[in-house]
Amino acid sequence: MATSSLAPPEVPMELHTGNRDRLITALRAHLSATASPPRGLALLQGGEEQTRHCTDHLELFRQESYFAYLFGVREPGFYGAIDIASGQSILFAPRLPPDYAVWMGEIKPLSHFKDRYKVDLVFYVDEIVQVLQDRFSEHGKPLLFLLYGKSADSGNYSKPASFEGIEKFETDLGTLHPILTECRVIKSEMELALIQYANDVSSEAHIEVMRQAKPGMKEYQLESIFLHHSYRHGACRHCSYTCICATGENSSILHYGHTAAPNDRTLNDGDMALMDMGAEYNFYGSDITCSYPINGKFNSNQTIVYNAVLKAHNAVISHMQPGVKWIDMHKLAEQTILESLKKEKIIHGDIADMMARRLGAVFMPHGLGHLLGIDTHDPGGYPEGLERPNEPGLSSLRTIRELKEGMVITVEPGCYFIDALLRPARDDPISSKFFNWEEIEKYKSFGGVRIESDLYVTGQGCKNLTNCPREIWEIEAVMAGAPWPPHAAATKA
Ligand code: LEU
């Protein structure tokens, strides 16, 4: 039986009150520079429950992230508003039909939501026009700041609040999104505590998977161990993303594990496993990757690739501090990996030439890491004025910002042997000369290695929130039954 040292923490609603205060301060500062006095309300529509296609099967609801950030509301169908001048917060709850009490449970009174979510006022959604007009129209037609803006990762737009009668209000679609997005970039102590907890759960669950992995098992069994541990011991019902449980050649498929590649391969003796899985607690997530041999012992090729990636992971972490440019960290990781591959005669030639030709992207086509918070790819990576680069590898970066104290960002270098990238490199007469194709042939079905930790940027450097065995000897010891963290041994003795 797996044991656990986890204790799911109470979530203080002050976390979300603090998030609202941060938005109010930022909006007031912005508006006082353009209008006086600051007026209007920020109005957001929470997520709506979805059914499976045309059926009545309800998908498990997870709140929309911007709404979760400001209000912490778990239930679907809400609206939330913040009066910028007074700072008052207002929730609008859906009016539920009497039948709800029979099929879904108690219909909670509005006072329940006021107490639970610590807002100033609560009304029903069908009262929204009247409430906003009666209470907030002292300066004429009330002005509503709605959330409308593009996600730099998906290219999708957030849905601005809409309701019957919205034409009675003046609306602004451009102000709220960039300001609220920027608020989410810097984490408060309370947010950090939840991200740390999600990391504690995921680190422990990863170790449980590592201990149980054996040749002959299926990838989905590793996924199920992670999900079970996170939920059973950590109270995490959601994951931050679909588990990537890739073994053997599958570990070179960056976003493996989706419906068309559903973690269903049988594990073989001699395979590497690349496990990218993260639990989510009260909306805040984690994103961790561990790579190791299924049989518990690194062979020589596995050692070479693993140590190349580990060296890059550690080099980046040792350079991280406020002011450092993330694109420079990406290049540092690429260069470190290329140097290790050169030392092992997998590639040859001048590293600076390879960097200039962007050959690092043949082995690491994704970005070094991304902001993490309520979303796995947390927004704010490309604020206005910052353009996504278009060169290979760099174009996959989800941010090229300078690090700032309070950011949480993943560090996830990887090294993969991907046919779809090696083939064109081979076909290109100039690039081809940098590769030792005979040596690379030996890694044909190797797959890849990724090592991913979640880092908090402090005033002077950074703090690693992830606690998984990383050195080869540590992984081999844990897979052979040694305790983790290692001081657990001392405590037990
Ligand atoms: N999480 C990273 C990204 O999508 C890449 C990883 C899955 C290889 O940017």
What pLDDT is attached to residue 36? 66
Q: Which two tokens stand for residue 421?
A: 């990238």
What pLDDT is attached to residue 487? 79
Residue 314 backbone dihedrals phi, psi, to 5 degrees: -70, -35
What pLDDT is attached to residue 320? 99
What pLDDT is attached to residue 27? 97
Total residue length of the chain: 493
Q: Whose CA is nearest to atom 4 of ligand 1?
A: 366
Helix (H, G, I), strand (E, B) or coil at 444: coil
Q: What's the gap in Å between 264 CA and the centre of ligand 1?
A: 21
Strands lying side by side in the sheet with 408-411: 408-411, 453-457, 462-464
Q: How many CA atoms lie within 13 A of 125 on its CB side?
A: 16
Domains of the chain: 14-185 (3.40.350.10), 189-492 (3.90.230.10)
What pLDDT is attached to residue 207? 98
Q: Calculate the dihedral angle through the C-alpha atoms of 201, 204, 207, 213, rounding to the nearest 10 degrees.
A: -60
Please say whether the beta carbons of 257 and 265 come within 8 A.
no
Q: Which two tokens stand for residue 217?
A: 């098992």
Catalogue the long-range contacts made by 324-327 (C-beta closer than 8 Å, 24 or more residues apart): 324/402, 324/403, 325/400, 325/401, 325/402, 325/403, 326/368, 326/369, 326/397, 326/399, 326/400, 326/401, 326/402, 326/403, 326/409, 327/389, 327/394, 327/397, 327/400
What pLDDT is attached to residue 493? 42
Q: Is the CB of 398 under 6 A from ligand 1?
A: yes
Mutate-to-test residue for ligand 1 from 154, 240, 252, 254, highest number of ligand atoms within 8 A of CB: 254
Nearest atom, ligand 1, residue 376 CA: 1
At 8-60, the pLDDT tens digits run 999 999 999 999 999 999 999 999 888 667 889 999 999 999 999 999 999 99
pLDDT averages per 10-residue partition of the chain, 493 residues? 89 98 97 82 98 98 98 98 96 98 98 98 98 83 95 96 96 98 98 98 98 98 98 98 98 98 98 98 98 98 98 99 98 98 98 98 98 98 97 98 98 98 98 98 97 99 98 98 82 46
Residue 272 backbone dihedrals phi, psi, to 5 degrees: -90, 150
Q: What's the gap in Å between 257 CA and the centre of ligand 1?
A: 13
Nearest atom, ligand 1, residue 398 CA: 9
What pLDDT is attached to residue 33? 86
What pLDDT is attached to residue 490? 57
Task: Provide ipTM, 2 decimals.
Answer: 0.94
What pLDDT is attached to residue 488? 62
Whose tokens are 């917060």? That residue is: 89
